[in-house]
């Protein structure tokens, strides 16, 4: 994993560490970060940016990195997502376990419920929180707008004693959901709507997947999050730009509880948005549950489990994030940069193999019927150390259907009437004739081989411009191939005309399924997840769910412009 480039976040950290701990900088003198996902869905490539920034920042400063599940909403959490999130972090190389070099541990927000309650009682005793009987709709109405101040709740000035009594009864389950909230008492005239007496506890009688039925009240994220950070010793709470307006509330909670040393500092960065895809969990859930894709790990999805299944590597994903940069300005990154990063990596590392996706039979009429000959082909022409493999050659072969044309266009250098081509790594062959099916379609192409050209150029020095790939019909294995493409037809899925739904722009050709493609015999024994370049075709990965299937990771052609 390449070191993270310097950025504005590190400029802030450098300045604080150089100044030394003080009240002004919250007594911060070390670096401890965290990644706090809500376990209500699968992580996606946007999540990978947050992981990258937090993990690599901890690594740069010799600090620690925590995984904390933000499981404070009992209606959404699911153990399935808890397991998937941990698996994705470890796959990325950002293992949070304490045994790993930079791991600070795995934590659960729900384990802090007792402390969150204790600190809420402290705020009530300080006169900084009160129980409010307004309904959610009334709270929204009383909050006001950006241009009009809010109105104080009729219950804002309840006594400390009454608030303590009501809050305890809320905890004990004496009131129905939605009837009461605990609100922070801040400033109903603040220009920041987040500070207009935000709710910090709400009543929910839903059992929690880890805590069971113990709790009837649950802390809201903006209250629980800074407490959790502080209790874990987090010094830098690095999060996306959407939380920028919430930072004053984050600081208010830390300062007014007043018991934490060091005090965590929240710093925001721009989220990762990418062309031709969506990152919203709501949209991703719709894609899955409305059947537009085949599950969370459908290789067209931006989820990490989908990218892993498609054949993307952690190093390519992090290289993409590194090149996209870290800033405070939101932008949309071209998906072709991600494709460029995996293409660049696999060009250097992926073994070459031959696959014929749309086969047509070729018979070498002057080659013995029972003879099998082996030709040596390089595993990676750019890496001599990768070695070679042996490919069997026989009288009957497969070539790609579009590598032969009866009526070729200008500058067509593949097999054609009257022409010659080189069979990759083997003989030069010359067109002789065609056999047809009863419907007139081509059943077989007949060629003759120059049997003196197996190890080099023809003796007469003639030049043959075209080279095509091939496989022996007796030895080729049959597989299914999935040709994946962009999931949407428009680059900015978030900017669509009024009255349209994002699903209206799903690409109908985002998946083309090819049955009974032909591949080198060695591919029958490769492992799920193994990656290859199918020569002249693209980069492919053996599927992890359907072993006889290969998924296209990316095409050979690189159209990204720097």
Pair of tokens at residue 118: 């204790």
208 beta partners: 212
- Per the residue annotation, which of 115, 271, 430, 486 is the catalytic one? 271
Closest CA to 181 of 173, 190, 170: 170
Closest CA to 393 of 425, 421, 361, 419: 425
Is 16 an annotated catalytic residue? no
237 beta partners: 266
Is 38 an annotated catalytic residue? yes
Which stretches of 20-103 are DSSP H helices?
Answer: 45-60, 79-92
Residues 6+ apart with CB under 8 A from 88: 42, 43, 47, 304, 305, 308
The residue behind tokens 């083997």 is: 426
Q: Identify the sign of the CA torsion 96, 99, 102, 106.
A: positive
Contact between 554 and 350 under an 8 Å Cβ cutoff? The reply is no
Rounded CA-CA distance 216/202 in Å is 9
CA angle 328-94-315, nearest 5°? 80
* Backbone region of residue 120 per phi and psi (left: phi > 0; alpha: psi in -120 to 50; beta: other values): alpha
Contact between 331 and 546 under an 8 Å Cβ cutoff? The reply is no
* Backbone region of residue 261 per phi and psi (left: phi > 0; alpha: psi in -120 to 50; beta: other values): beta
H helix or E strand, kind and range, residue 512: strand 511-519
Closest CA to 119 of 226, 28, 209, 265: 226
Rounded CA-CA distance 155/134 in Å is 8
Burial degree of 101 (CB within 10 A; 0-12, 13-18, 19+)? exposed
- Per the residue annotation, which of 76, 156, 204, 281 is the catalytic one? 281
> Radius of gyration (Cα) for the chain, nearest Å?
31
Neighbours of 318 (CB within 10 A): 23
Pair of tokens at residue 482: 């999935």
Closest CA to 81 of 293, 254, 387, 288: 288
Length, in residues, of the chain = 562
Is 271 an annotated catalytic residue? yes
What is the DSSP pairing of strand 467-468 with strand 420-423?
parallel
* SS3 at position 430: strand
| CA 531 to mean position of chain CA atoms | 18
| CA 457 to mean position of chain CA atoms | 48
Q: Identify the sign of the CA torsion 314, 320, 321, 323.
A: positive
35 beta partners: 67
Which residues have a catalytic role annotated?
A: 38, 271, 281
């Amino acid at each position: 994993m390449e070191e993270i480039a310097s950025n504005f976040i590190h400029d802030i950290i450098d300045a604080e560490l150089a100044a030394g701990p003080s009240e002004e900088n919250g007594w911060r003198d070390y670096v401890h970060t965290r990644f706090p996902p809500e376990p209500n869905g699968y992580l996606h490539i946007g999540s990978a940016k947050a992981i990258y920034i937090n993990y690599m920042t901890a690594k740069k400063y010799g600090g620690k990195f925590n995984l904390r599940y933000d499981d404070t909403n009992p209606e959404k959490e699911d153990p399935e997502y808890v397991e998937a999130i941990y698996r994705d972090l470890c796959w990325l190389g950002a293992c949070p376990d304490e045994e790993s070099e930079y791991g600070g541990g795995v934590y659960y927000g729900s384990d802090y419920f007792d402390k969150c309650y204790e600190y809420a009682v402290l705020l009530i005793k300080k006169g900084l929180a009160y129980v409010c009987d307004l309904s959610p709709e009334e709270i929204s109405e009383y909050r006001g707008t950006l241009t009009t101040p809010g109105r104080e709740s009729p219950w804002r000035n309840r006594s400390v004693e009454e608030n303590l009594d009501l809050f305890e009864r809320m905890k004990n389950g004496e009131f129905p959901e939605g009837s009461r909230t605990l609100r922070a008492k801040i400033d109903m005239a603040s220009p920041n709507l987040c500070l207009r007496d935000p709710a910090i506890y709400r009543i929910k009688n839903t059992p929690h997947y880890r805590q069971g039925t113990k709790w009837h009240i649950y802390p809201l994220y903006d209250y629980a999050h800074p407490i959790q950070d502080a209790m874990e010793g987090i010094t830098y709470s690095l999060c996306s730009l959407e939380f920028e307006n919430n930072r004053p509330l984050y600081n208010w909670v830390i300062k007014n509880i007043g018991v934490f040393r060091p005090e965590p500092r929240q710093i925001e960065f721009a989220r990762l948005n990418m062309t031709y895809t969506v990152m919203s969990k709501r949209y991703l859930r719709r894609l899955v549950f409305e059947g537009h894709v085949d599950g969370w790990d459908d290789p067209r999805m931006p989820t990490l489990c989908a990218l892993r299944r498609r054949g993307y590597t952690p190093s390519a994903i992090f290289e993409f994030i590194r090149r996209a940069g870290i800033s405070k300005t939101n932008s949309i990154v071209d998906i072709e940069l991600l494709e460029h990063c995996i293409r660049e990596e696999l060009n250097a590392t992926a073994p070459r193999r031959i696959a014929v996706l749309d086969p047509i039979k070729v018979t070498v009429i002057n080659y013995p019927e029972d003879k099998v000959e082996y030709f040596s082909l390089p595993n990676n022409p750019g890496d001599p150390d990768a070695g070679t493999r042996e490919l069997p050659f026989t009288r009957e072969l497969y070539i790609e259907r579009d590598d032969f044309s009866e009526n070729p266009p200008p500058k067509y250098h593949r097999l054609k009437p009257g022409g010659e081509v080189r069979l990759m790594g083997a003989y030069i062959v010359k067109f002789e004739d065609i056999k047809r099916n009863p419907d007139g379609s081509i059943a077989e192409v007949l060629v003759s081989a120059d049997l003196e050209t197996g190890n080099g150029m023809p003796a007469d020095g003639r030049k043959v411009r075209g080279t095509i790939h091939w496989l022996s019909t007796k030895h080729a294995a049959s597989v299914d191939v999935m040709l994946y493409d962009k999931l949407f037809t428009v680059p900015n899925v978030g900017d669509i005309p009024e009255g349209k739904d994002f699903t209206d722009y799903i690409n109908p050709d985002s998946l083309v399924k090819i049955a009974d493609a032909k591949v080198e015999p060695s591919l029958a024994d490769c492992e799920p997840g193994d990656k290859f370049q199918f020569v002249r075709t693209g980069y492919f990965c053996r599927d992890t769910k359907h072993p006889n299937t290969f998924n296209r990771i990316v095409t050979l052609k690189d159209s990204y412009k720097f």
